[in-house]
Amino acid sequence: MLSATYSAGLCGIDGFPVTVECNQKNGLSGFELVGLPDLAVKEAKERVRTACYNSGYPFPHSRITVNLAPADRKKEGSAFDIAILTAIFHSDGIIRRNVDLSGKCMVGELSLSGEVRGVRGILCMCVAAKENGFTEFYAPEANAVEAAAVEGITVYSVRNVRELVAHLNGEAPLTPVHTDRTAFFKASNQYSADFIDVRGQAMAKRAMEIAAAGGHNILLIGPPGTGKSMLAKRLPSILPPLSFAEAIETTKIHSVAGVLPDGVSLLSVRPFRAPHHTMSTVSLVGGGINPLPGEVSLADNGVLFLDELPEFPKQVTDALRQPLEDRRVTITRANGRVTFPCSFMLVGAMNPCRCGYFGHPSRKCTCKPEDVKRYISRISGPMLDRIDIQIELPSLTYDEISAPDAHAEHSETIRARVTVAREFARQRMNGKTNAFCNAQLDAAGIHEFCNPDPEASALLKAAYDRMGLSARGYDRILRVARTIADLDSSELIRAPHIAEAIQLRSLDRKYWG
């Protein structure tokens, strides 16, 4: 008897449908699994056989062949277990043969007791199932709420084999699982860190607001204790709220990586990733034998914070150059190619020198001039060119630390201005470019949307000649000035906007000589 059920596999963060075909025939008892399975899939034979016995069902004494189609595509992981068991049961009659399995996609790992265990990447698989016309999706209880975030497909939570069989046979129907979108949007603005906690540093706060409004990368330079890490950790709280589509994409990446927090079905706030400077290039951009997303992808639609930036190995920071430009990472291995999105804001933090006190008003720097230059040069020029804003944070005085800041604002107030500026830019672009913020404007977008008036053009020309800017640095200043103009609701870039954008390029101005 031939039977077919359906499951889903993973390639990067994209799922793909898998047809599980089962054929039984008389002869010596055996169980063959074909269709380019990896070791974890091959081991499904023993999991399925033992789960069947321990769930109280007889395992067929016949020649069983299971094929995972398409047979030329690598199948990895344990998510095919319940689809394989269902196909065997359907061909053997344990699940009635008149049951239509054509619109049902089943994903889950079997324990030896017959319980259904969670798997990584369930959201990606559910999205693929919906896109390929499936109407029902069967997921482990541990993952069902995550899968239910996908609209347009009915999701069922499966705890064990007996529960699945009773449902398919119509004896004890399962109840569909739903995700409360209202709760998602309520949680999308809840951040524990707030800009009201940051004392002083008015210019740095302004720079962070500009960075958030335009999606610009930013480098914070200053002695220890000036608030660089505090500002970086609060940046997500002033970014526009995470949209539902962004939440789905970000959650897919975290689900595939297996780092989705327990009890969280859908990420509702922008991610903040802060890896240590001892990390490897693979940890940063992703990779491995079976490629998994790295920190740049886990920070998708959020913030990647690299503290003590010069301490990162140069090959690691240089590996960021392409992801910062392309907003995606493509990893090629012998068995295929996967692409992970990585649309993130980069925030770097560094001391002005190795000891940290170059230019400090009261503490003496112990570094030689050549040591200072050598320390800064650990960040390559092409890497610096990709950081739109470079801002120096001065040491705080006692009064700035101890006295209440009358001009301090809550993150919610700043976020409101950022959201208005983003909307102002969106209406100007109006679908004319694929960029969704000023930092992503290409050369054609800069030419069309970044139009300085004559006075601003003259100022920019003088700065270009005096500072020795590269073409990319010139573009960065124009993009930042465009964002500053958006915060002023100005269609034209004026001289004050250019002047402020230039002030936000500290390293280009070589302020330490």
- What are the Cα distances from residue 249, in Å, to 238, 244, 340, 426, 458? 20, 9, 10, 21, 43
Q: Would you state the pLDDT for residue 363?
A: 84
Identify the band that residue 511 occupies on the pLDDT scale cut at 50, 70 and 90: very low
Q: Which residues pair with 240 in a beta bridge?
A: none
For residue 302, give the nearest of 334, 256, 346 by alpha carbon. Answer: 346
Closest CA to 141 of 160, 124, 168, 126: 160
Q: Average of pLDDT values for 472-497? A: 91
Q: Are strands 116-117 and 63-69 parallel, antiparallel or unpaired?
A: unpaired
Pick from 58, 33, 55: nearest CA to 44: 33
- The pLDDT tens digits for 224-249 are 888 899 999 999 999 998 888 899 99
- For residue 263, name the pLDDT band (cuts at 50, 70, 90): confident
Rounded CA separation 468/456 (Å): 18
Q: Which of 512, 13, 483 is nearest to 260 (CA)?
A: 13
Residue 508 pLDDT class (50, 70, 90 cuts): low
Element (H, E) at 31: strand 30-34
Q: Is the pLDDT of residue 262 over 80?
A: no
pLDDT of residue 408: 82
Identify the burial level of 60 via C-beta atoms within 10 angstroms of its C-beta, where 0-12 means exposed, 13-18 middle and 19 or more buried.
buried
Nearest to 275 by CA among 246, 308, 244: 308
pLDDT digits (tens, 9 = 90+) for 286-327: 988 888 899 999 999 999 999 999 999 989 998 998 899 889
pTM of the model: 0.87
- The C-alpha atoms of residue 378 and residue 373 are separated, in whole angstroms, by 9
Question: For 60-64, 122-126, 166-170, 507-511, which range has the lowest pLDDT when averaged over its residues?
Answer: 507-511
Which tokens sit at 430? 């109006």
Q: For the CA atoms of the chain, what is the radius of gyration?
A: 28
Distance CA 125, CA 121 (A): 6
Question: Residue-wise over 371-385: b if at least 16 C-beta within 10 A, else e?
Answer: ebeebbebbeeebbb
Q: Domains in the chain, ordered, with CATH?
A: 2-177 (3.30.230.10), 187-503 (3.40.50.300)
Q: How many other CB atoms are there within 10 angstroms of residue 432's CB atom?
A: 11
Measured CA to CA, the distance from residue 347 to residue 477 in angstroms comes to: 17
Written as six digits, the tokens of 62 are: 């016949």
d(CA 127, CA 410): 37
Q: 436-469 burial string, b = 16+ CB within 10 Å, else e?
A: ebbbbbeeebbeebbebeeebeebbeebbeebeb
**Separation between Cα atoms, residue 472 and residue 346, nearest integer Å:** 17
44 to 39, 117, 323: CA distances (angstroms): 9, 13, 37
- Enter the tokens of residue 214: 């335009």
Asked if residues 240 and 417 have their Cβ atoms less than 8 Å apart, the reply is no
Contact criterion met (CB below 8 Å) for 507 and 389: no
Backbone angles phi, psi at 244, to 5 degrees: -65, -40
Segment 424-457, tens digit of pLDDT: 998 888 877 777 788 888 888 888 888 899 999 9
331, β-bridge pairs? 338
Q: DSSP letter at 160?
A: B
Nearest to 142 by CA among 61, 251, 262, 33: 262
Q: Taking the chain, what is the end-to-end CA distance rounded to the nearest angstrom?
A: 81
Q: What digits encode the pLDDT tens for the residues 72-95?
A: 898 999 999 999 999 999 999 999
Residue 241 CA, chain-centre distance (Å), reads 15
Q: Which two tokens stand for residue 192?
A: 């524990």
- Report the C-alpha gap between 283 and 295 in whole angstroms: 6
CB atoms within 10 A of CB 506: 19
74 CB contacts (<8 Å, ≥6 apart)? 36, 38, 335, 336
- What is the longest distance spanned by two Cα atoms in the chain? 89
The distance from CA 190 to its chain's CA centroid, rounded to whole angstroms, is 19
Phi, psi of 486 (to 5 degrees): -65, -40
Residue 177 pairs with which residues in a beta bridge?
Answer: 155
Structure tokens given for 379: 């960040």
pLDDT (tens digit, 9 = 90+) per residue, 145-183?
899 989 899 999 999 999 999 999 999 999 999 887 776
